Structure 1
Amino acid sequence: MTVNDDSFTNWKNREETAEAMIPIIGKLHRERDVTVLLHSRSLVNKSVVSILKTHRFARQIAGEELSVTETMPFLRALTTLDLGPSQIDIGMLAATHKADDRGLSVEEFTAQAVAGATGSNKIERSEGRDVVLYGFGRIGRLVARLLIEKAGSGNGLRLRAIVVRGGGEQDIVKRASLLRRDSIHGQFQGTITVDEANSTIVANGNAIRVIYANDPGEVDYTAYGIKNAILIDNTGKWRDRAGLSLHLRPGIDKVVLTAPGKGDVPNVVHGVNHDTVKPDERILSCASCTTNAIVPPLKAMDDEYGVLRGHVETVHSFTNDQNLLDNYHKSERRGRSAPLNMVITETGAASAVAKALPDLKARITGSSIRVPVPDVSIAILNLQLAREASREEVLDYLRDVSLTSPLRRQIDFISAPDAVSSDFIGSRHASIVDAGALKVEGDNAILYLWYDNEFGYSCQVIRVVQHVSGVEYPTFPAPAA
């Protein structure tokens, strides 16, 4: 048998194992509300090839190959346990078991590692929480996709309605089409039908009422059977407490803004300060995509090395706030053609750091350049550290943070030498550390942080909503403190 034959046989064997994983992962998700992860990446509703590629990608971050033949025993072990709602990372189970010297079997080790999700320790399955989207633009539609994706277990968050201004003939058909197809993020994974008579979009069995209103005060959500809901404002029209309070109508319990909040509105970056949100807080902001990209790695660096001062330069994709061709705009430079120019503009991300990291004493400044790409941006974080470090030390530290720390859902890590912006379309992390671009000299460190400013940010929004609605389930094995 040739080397080629050996490689192909090995591939077919791994393909068969991945095929066997799919029904196990699906059953755990539907029946027990358990989400199976691999190094923080969900394997729910993934194809055979996607499962294999996710395992292969582990080499980029963990430094060594991870095979489905290594993780499958841990997945099978999970089926023997009395599991409650949780997220379980089989990549972490395999890695920690390999490093464990107690001689435990896979079954024994798995039972101990996920003990917090079994028996008397398991939490009760949630009855679900209604969600309303106010606005249905770029972020609104991606948040909708994520909510629909996560509704598979029948618990957790339930997208009940979308509020938009009337757009004329066949409005609902056109909005459903925009949800179905996206030029950047591809086709919707599932089926979408439209019930024009009842003003409803049905996506993967989820009936979503489309409500037409020109003002928040026009809507009584209880008339649509909606109660105790989280409303996600994607318009950015209202950013202070007074304006966002207009949404607190019958049926709405909390309001989450997908833009930086003003005044005393809490700016929340999941993974960093989400646990400081008071239970009785009814209005909060998820800050900006750039704030979400820089605050987690900034916190990680400050925790380990101390940060005395810093500057962030964002090279940001263009957005709907800019013009396609030169035209009037309230901002001086954003009126110039977005697809044809690099446009110097302002960013509030640096000043927003203080809200998310109040204990950080370092002064952080920032600026931004919009560039002619439709999605994925990069933040260049230039830090003066409180102590000197080597490039290898910082790389090892950030790799470990991305794998085992409480920030592993926010910070990803890539060592591919030829990585470019389009490689990160669809990333679910708040930011991705580019190992090849990292520069460290003495007490100066420069981090290059990629981020999908649409999808990665939308994932952070969903995490915040899950947290404040009480349906954020614990992850096992627990990340290192």
Structure 2
Amino acid sequence: MTVNDDSFTNWMHREEIAESMIPLIGKLHRERDVTVLLHSRSLVNKSVVSILKTHRFARQIAGEELSVTETMPFLQALTTLDLGPSQIDLGMLAATYQADDRGLSVAEFTAEAVAGATGANKIERRESRDVVLYGFGRIGRLVARLLIEKAGSGNGLRLRAIVVRGGGDQDIVKRASLLRRDSIHGQFHGTITVDEDSSTIVANGNAIKVIYADDPSHVDYTEYGIRDAILIDNTGKWRDREGLSKHLRPGIDKVVLTAPGKGDVPNIVHGVNHDTIKPDEQILSCASCTTNAIVPPLKAMDDEYGVLRGHVETVHSFTNDQNLLDNYHKSERRGRSAPLNMVITETGAASAVAKALPDLQAKITGSSIRVPVPDVSIAILNLQLARETTREDVHDYLRNVSLTSPLKRQIDFTTAPDAVSSDFIGSRHASIVDAGALKVEGDNAILYLWYDNEFGYSCQVVRVVQHVSGVEYPTYPSTAV
């Protein structure tokens, strides 16, 4: 047998194993509210090739490829346990098992590692929580996709309605089409139908009412059977407590803003300060995409090395508030053609750091340049540290943070030497450390942080909503051995 034949036979064998994993993963998700992960990446509703690619990606984090032959025994062991709602990381199970020297079987080790989610310890499945989207632009549609994707168990977040201004003939058909197809993020995974008579979009069986209103005060959500809902305002029209309070109508319990909040509105970056949200807080902000990109690695660096001061330079993709061609704009530079120019602009991310990291003593400054790409940005974080270190030490530290720390859902890590912005379209992390671009000299460290400013940010928004709704479930194993 030739090397080529041997490689193909091996591929076919791994395909067969990955194919057999899909129904096990799906059943755990539907029947027990268990989300199976691999190094923080969900395997729910993934294809055979996606599962294999996710296993292969592990080499960039752990240093070597992870095989489905290694993870399948752990998945099989999970199906035999009395599991409650949880997230279980097969990559972490495999890594911690390899480091364990007690001679336990895979089944014994798995049962011990996820004991907090089994038997008397398990969390009971909660009732689904209604969600309303106010606005249906770039972030609104991506958040809708994520909510629909996560509705598989029927016990999580349930998108009940979208509120928009009337747009004329076939408005709902056009909005459904924008949800169905996206020039950057591709096709919607599933089916979408429209019932114009009832003003409803049905996506993967989820009936979503489209409500037309020009002002929040015109809507009574209880008329649509909506109760105790979380409303996500992705218009950015209101950013202070007084304005956002207009959303607290019958049927709405909490309001989440997808832009930096003003005044006393808490700015929340999931993974960093989401546990500071008060149970009775009704209005909060998810800050900006750039704030979400820089705050987790900034916290990680401050925790380990201390940060005395820093500057963030954001090279940001253009957005809808810019003009395609030169035209009037309230901001002088943003009036110039977005696809044809680099445009110097401001960023509020640096000032927003203080809200998310109040204990950080360092002064952080920031600026931004909009560039002619439609999605994915990079933040260059230049830090003066409290002690000297080496590039190798920071490299290994951030890699471990991305793999095993509480920030592993926020911080990703890539060693790909040829990585460019489009490679990170669809990333679910708040930011991705580019290992090859990292620079460290003495007490100065420069981090290059890629981030999908649309999809990665939307994932952070959904995580915050899951947390405040009580459907954010613990991850196992919780720590590395």
Common topology (TM > 0.5) = yes
- Could you tell me whether the CA contact under 8 Å between 2:96 and 2:480 is conserved in 1? no
- Could you tell me whether the CA contact under 8 Å between 1:406 and 1:480 is conserved in 2? no
Deviation at 1:480, TM superposition (A): 5.7
- Could you tell me whether the CA contact under 8 Å between 2:427 and 2:456 is conserved in 1? yes
- Could you tell me whether the CA contact under 8 Å between 2:164 and 2:214 is conserved in 1? yes
Alignment partners' CA distance in 1, 2:205 and 2:258:
26
- Which whole-Å deviations, capped at 9, do the CAs of 1:311-351 have from their partners, x for residues lacking one? 00000000001011111111111000000000000000000
Alignment partners' CA distance in 1, 2:271 and 2:177:
34
Q: Is residue 121 of structure 1 aligned with residue 121 of structure 2?
A: yes
Alignment partners' CA distance in 2, 1:387 and 1:299:
16
- Which whole-Å deviations, capped at 9, do the CAs of 1:16-59 have from their partners, x for residues lacking one? 00000000000000000000000000000000000000000000
- Could you tell me whether the CA contact under 8 Å between 1:241 and 1:263 is conserved in 2? yes
1:197 match: secondary structure: coil
Alignment partners' CA distance in 2, 1:30 and 1:403:
27
Q: Which residue of structure 2 aligns with residue 97 of structure 1? A: 97
2:394 match: secondary structure: helix
- Could you tell me whether the CA contact under 8 Å between 1:391 and 1:441 is conserved in 2? yes
- Which whole-Å deviations, capped at 9, do the CAs of 1:206-259 have from their partners, x for residues lacking one? 000000000000000000000000000000000000000000000000000000
- Could you tell me whether the CA contact under 8 Å between 2:92 and 2:480 is conserved in 1? no
Alignment partners' CA distance in 1, 2:277 and 2:342:
38
What RMSD, in angstroms, separates the aligned Cα atoms of the two structures?
A: 0.7
**Structure 2: gaps of 5 or more residues:** none
Q: 1:102 to 1:141 in 2, by over 3 A?
A: same
Between stretches 267-276 and 58-67, larger displacement belongs to 58-67
Q: Is residue 139 of structure 1 aligned with residue 139 of structure 2?
A: yes
Deviation at 1:164, TM superposition (A): 0.1
What are the equivalent positions in structure 2 for 1:441-480 lying under 5 Å apart? 441-479=441-479
Runs (4+) of structure 1 moved beyond 6 Å? none
1:387 match: secondary structure: strand
Q: Which residue of structure 1 aligns with residue 438 of structure 2? A: 438
- Which whole-Å deviations, capped at 9, do the CAs of 1:120-147 have from their partners, x for residues lacking one? 0000101110000000000000000000
Q: 1:26 to 1:159 in 2, by over 3 A?
A: same
Deviation at 1:64, TM superposition (A): 1.0
1:314 match: secondary structure: strand
2:254 match: secondary structure: strand
- Which whole-Å deviations, capped at 9, do the CAs of 1:269-323 have from their partners, x for residues lacking one? 0000000000000000000000000000000000000000000000000000101
2:182 match: secondary structure: coil
Alignment partners' CA distance in 2, 1:260 and 1:480:
34
Normalising to structure 1: TM-score of the pair? 1.00
Normalising to structure 2: TM-score of the pair? 1.00
Deviation at 1:479, TM superposition (A): 3.5
1:480 match: secondary structure: coil
Deviation at 1:68, TM superposition (A): 0.1
Alignment partners' CA distance in 2, 1:329 and 1:288:
22
- Could you tell me whether the CA contact under 8 Å between 1:115 and 1:121 is conserved in 2? yes
- Could you tell me whether the CA contact under 8 Å between 2:39 and 2:58 is conserved in 1? yes
Deviation at 1:464, TM superposition (A): 0.1
Q: Which residue of structure 2 aligns with residue 192 of structure 1? A: 192
Deviation at 1:452, TM superposition (A): 0.1
Alignment partners' CA distance in 2, 1:8 and 1:385:
49
**Structure 1: gaps of 5 or more residues:** none
- Could you tell me whether the CA contact under 8 Å between 2:305 and 2:386 is conserved in 1? yes
Aligned length in residues: 481
Alignment partners' CA distance in 1, 2:43 and 2:65:
18
Alignment partners' CA distance in 2, 1:101 and 1:156:
38
2:308 match: secondary structure: strand
1:419 match: secondary structure: coil
Alignment partners' CA distance in 2, 1:187 and 1:5:
35
Alignment partners' CA distance in 2, 1:303 and 1:58:
25
Alignment partners' CA distance in 1, 2:435 and 2:16:
33
- Which whole-Å deviations, capped at 9, do the CAs of 1:331-383 have from their partners, x for residues lacking one? 11100000000000000000000000000000000000000000000000000
